[in-house]
Amino acid sequence: MKYRHAILIILLVIIIDQVSKVYIKTHFYYGEEVNVLGTWFRLHFIENEGMAFGMKLSEAATGKLILTLFRLVAVVFGFFLLKKFVKKGYHKGLIICGSLILAGALGNLIDSIFYGLIFTESTFHIAQMVPWGQGYGKMFYGRVVDMLYFPIVDIILPTWVPIWGGKPFSFFDPVFNIADTAISGGVITLLVFQKKFMQAPGTQPGNETTTVK
């Protein structure tokens, strides 16, 4: 598998991720929800300050800056590592998974670096794109747009259930985006097939060292 193929995967994921985020950001009120397939797949617009699935490193602004800078360093190193794997002829499954993870990280990094500069606030109005630097925040302090919501189970537990009886129960609660999906898909696939994907170059039948182009 050639390096340019990995770059194409990354570009495709980023384009889909960014188009979906810009559409949601400029067409939905914050918190607006639309059913797509019944009630178990919904578009639900929220934003988060931190990591995948709305997790946070810290409530402080410095935590947000540290996370964004860490992502930036990780993405730069990721491109270097991915090119190295391709050059050494690692399994194409590893290259694809690495490309997905890298694309997801870069997709969310774009939000964190630039969205505060080019979008107005979404809290009270539908956001609009504005000239550079006239947005709701500074560089590196943008919020990540999430919209995919799959509350597959959303019920009130029977009263006979110990402790939680009569209380609402839902699964799956986190709201996420295409970038998060790419990261999760790449990581899970890599974990499942790690013995096959992580074999040293030259140990796989028919495997040949690939020239980077």
Report residue 46: phi and psi, to 5°: -140, 170
User: CA–CA separation, 20 vs 149, rounded Å?
Assistant: 14
User: CA–CA separation, 211 vs 5, rounded Å?
Assistant: 12
186 CA to centre of own chain? 11
User: CA–CA separation, 13 vs 138, rounded Å?
Assistant: 26
Q: Is 17 a catalytic residue?
A: no
Q: Which amino acid is at 43?
A: L
What the block records as the tokens of 175 is 């709201």
The helix/strand/coil state of 24 is helix
**Contact indicator for 79, 102 with CB cutoff of 8 Å:** yes
User: CA–CA separation, 181 vs 178, rounded Å?
Assistant: 5
Helix, strand and coil percent figures for the chain, each rounded to 5: 50, 15, 40
Catalytic residue among 17, 111, 146, 173: 146
User: CA–CA separation, 195 vs 124, rounded Å?
Assistant: 50
The helix/strand/coil state of 210 is coil
> So which residues are the catalytic ones?
146, 180
